[in-house]
């Protein structure tokens, strides 16, 4: 890594009442790399003048918050002319599960069979009957940590879940139905175009996202999966992400891409990954 005689200034977006290990390690490694961090805590009130004043100091800004509000904050900074990693343009690819499924289909990236359900409940029930994948996974097109994800064994359960999603959310967002694949979740963490970590997420629950996974271990990337990963990186244009895969027999299928991946699957690797993120941010400064 090139040593800068001038101290570089990088913004850092987070949403916490106090520093987590991520923030502590970013600050520690930033000092070593002759970098000053400007912290944007979106858990606290920030007025427009304060945001603009802090943003002007930054050469680039890194978003490390998965909160939905963070995307609005990213767009605000972009309107102020700031480069943010990752860009708000990646939002619809990573956070809209239906758009993600369509993009994968367009680029011949295998996914579980997926359909978009009508907002008319009677039509949605007919669509599920025609889809005929039981059990079926129902997902709101937006949501994090598996909050709006449920499995239905039959039409009656599906109707109950759809109504629950619509009642629970502040708005009636669309829902997709997806083929259920009985498989561990295989997470691949990417920084730039480099695979920096792999993790098999196992657990008793059929959900295998990080908060539900109980046993996590590494796995090897085979040539076919590597080719899929390269294609996803090229299509998504995301700099830092976690890609989740499942296996249907011997076939790899991609579930989703997360643009603010967790760095804590293996605590002993967290500092290494954060160091690579900082190096990427420095390379992106023009």
CA dihedral 64, 65, 70, 75 (to 10 degrees): 20
- Closest by CA to 229, choosing from 242, 215, 247, 216, is 242
Domain holding 186: CATH number?
A: 3.30.470.20
Q: Answer whether residue 273 is part of any domain.
A: no
Residue 28 has pLDDT above 80, yes or no: yes
Token pair, residue 130, equals 């025609």
Q: Map residue 137 onto helix, strand or coil.
A: strand
What pLDDT, on the 0 to 100 scale, is given for residue 285? 93
Beta bridge partners of 14: 41
Chain-centroid distance, C-alpha 212: 16
- Closest by CA to 133, choosing from 180, 182, 98, is 180
Kind plus residue range of the DSSP H or E element containing 160: helix 155-168
Same domain, residue pair 135 and 210: no
What pLDDT, on the 0 to 100 scale, is given for residue 33? 95
> What's 61's DSSP letter?
E
Residue 55 has pLDDT above 60, yes or no: yes
| List of residues 6+ apart from 256 with CB closer than 8 A | 94, 97, 100, 243, 244
pTM > 0.85: yes
Token pair, residue 175, equals 């829902």
**pLDDT one-digit tens code per residue, 183-235:** 999 999 999 999 999 999 887 777 766 555 567 999 999 999 999 999 999 99
* Residue 63 pLDDT level (bands cut at 50, 70, 90): very high
**pLDDT one-digit tens code per residue, 140-178:** 988 766 678 999 999 999 999 999 998 886 667 899 999
Same domain, residue pair 67 and 118: no
Domain holding 139: CATH number?
A: 3.30.1490.20
Domain holding 33: CATH number?
A: 3.40.50.20
**pLDDT one-digit tens code per residue, 7-19:** 999 999 999 989 9
What pLDDT, on the 0 to 100 scale, is given for residue 210? 53
Last residue of a domain, one of 122, 153, 179: 179
Q: Map residue 263 onto helix, strand or coil.
A: coil
Q: Answer whether residue 202 is part of any domain.
A: yes
Residue 53 has pLDDT above 60, yes or no: yes
In the Cβ-directed half-sphere of 124, how many Cα atoms lie within 13 Å? 20
Q: Which domain holds residue 223?
A: 92-96+182-267
Q: How many domains does the chain have?
A: 3
Last residue of a domain, one of 141, 156, 179: 179
Cα–Cα distance between 92 and 97 in angstroms, integer?
8
Q: Answer whether residue 17 is part of any domain.
A: yes
Residue 3 has pLDDT above 70, yes or no: no
What pLDDT, on the 0 to 100 scale, is given for residue 214? 62
Cα–Cα distance between 109 and 111 in angstroms, integer?
7
**pLDDT one-digit tens code per residue, 233-279:** 999 889 999 999 999 999 999 999 988 999 999 999 999 999 999 99
Residue 84 has pLDDT above 70, yes or no: yes
Q: What stretches of the chain show up as alpha helix (H) in DSSP? A: 21-32, 48-57, 68-79, 91-95, 97-106, 121-131, 155-168, 223-236, 267-284
Same domain, residue pair 173 and 186: no
Looking up tokens 């963070």, which residue turns up? 70
Residue 1 has pLDDT above 60, yes or no: no
Q: Answer whether residue 279 is part of any domain.
A: no
């Amino acid at each position: 890594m090139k040593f800068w005689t001038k101290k570089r200034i990088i913004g850092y977006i987070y949403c916490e009442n106090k520093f987590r290990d991520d923030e502590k390690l970013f600050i520690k490694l930033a000092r070593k790399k002759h970098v000053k961090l400007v912290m944007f805590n979106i858990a606290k009130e920030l007025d427009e003048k304060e945001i603009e004043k802090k943003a002007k100091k930054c050469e680039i800004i890194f978003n490390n918050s998965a909160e939905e509000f963070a995307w609005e904050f990213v767009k605000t900074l972009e309107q102020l002319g700031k480069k943010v990693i990752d860009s708000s343009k990646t939002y619809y690819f990573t956070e809209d599960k239906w758009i993600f499924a369509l993009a994968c289909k367009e680029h011949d990236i295998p996914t579980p069979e997926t359909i978009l359900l009508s907002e008319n409940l009677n039509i949605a029930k007919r669509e599920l009957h025609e889809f005929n994948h039981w059990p079926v996974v129902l997902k709101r097109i937006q949501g994090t940590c598996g909050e709006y994800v449920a499995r239905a064994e039959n039409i009656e359960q599906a109707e109950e879940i759809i109504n629950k999603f619509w009642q629970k959310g502040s708005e009636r967002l669309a829902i997709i139905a997806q083929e259920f694949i009985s498989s561990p979740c295989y997470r691949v963490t990417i920084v730039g175009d480099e695979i920096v970590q792999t993790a098999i997420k196992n657990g008793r629950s059929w959900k295998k996202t990080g908060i539900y996974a109980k046993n996590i271990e590494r796995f090897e990337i085979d040539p076919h999966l590597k080719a899929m990963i390269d294609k996803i990186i090229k299509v998504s244009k995301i700099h830092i992400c976690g890609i989740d895969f499942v296996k249907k027999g011997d076939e790899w299928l991609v579930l989703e891409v997360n643009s603010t991946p967790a760095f804590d699957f293996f605590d002993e690797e967290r500092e290494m990954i954060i160091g690579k993120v900082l190096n990427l941010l420095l390379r992106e400064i023009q």
